[in-house]
Amino acid sequence: NAGVTQTPKFQVLKTGQSMTLQCAQDMNHNSMYWYRQDPGMGLRLIYYSASEGTTDKGEVPNGYNVSRLNKREFSLRLESAAPSQTSVYFCASSDSNQPQHFGDGTRLSIL
């Protein structure tokens, strides 16, 4: 019973490198979300996808791109990583007005 699976769990990058964070859900949810979590700031929405084929910016989209590959998968890409993007990244999924289900997070450090 996997729920929301994020890979990798940990990653260290150098400034300027690129990488893609992967997220997959097996609950047949329509909506998927990417958040970042920084100390004392709660969760901030980066991008979301209300349904397959659509994506929209959240509160802090700069420096990120997303792809809703299919109904199950929603990836987050950092094209040129910056130290300010050091954070814990969470993927979540839900249906309409139902609670969001979260993955265990990706801990990303950018040197």
Partner 1 sequence: AQSVTQPDIHITVSEGASLELRCNYSYGATPYLFWYVQSPGQGLQLLLKYFSGDTLVQGIKGFEAEFKRSQSSFNLRKPSVHWSDAAEYFCAVGLARSNYQLIWGAGTKLIIKP
CB 18 within 8 A of CB 78: yes
**Segment interacting with partner 1 (CB under 8 A) among 12-20, 66-74, 77-85, 100-108:** 100-108
Q: Please, which of residues 25-54 interact with partner 1 by CB under 8 A?
A: 31, 33, 40-45, 48, 50
42 contacts: CB under 8 Å, gap ≥ 6: none
Residue 71 contacts partner 1 per CB under 8 A: no
Q: Which of 25, 105, 108, 110 binds partner 1 (CB under 8 A)?
A: 105
Q: What are the CA-CA distances from residue 84 to residues 14, 28, 57, 104, 109 (Å)?
A: 12, 33, 18, 21, 9
- How many CA atoms within 13 Å lie on the side-chain side of 30? 7
Tokens of 67: 């792809």
**In the bound complex, what is the minimum distance in angstroms from residue 2's beta carbon to partner 1?**
12
Residue 97 contacts partner 1 per CB under 8 A: yes
94 contacts: CB under 8 Å, gap ≥ 6: 29, 30, 31, 33, 100, 101
Query: Of 17 and 52, which has the nearer Cβ to partner 1?
Result: 52
Query: Of 12 and 82, which has the nearer Cβ to partner 1?
Result: 12
Q: Which residues bind partner 1 (CB under 8 A)?
A: 4, 31, 33, 40-45, 48, 50, 56, 58, 90, 92, 94, 96-97, 99-105
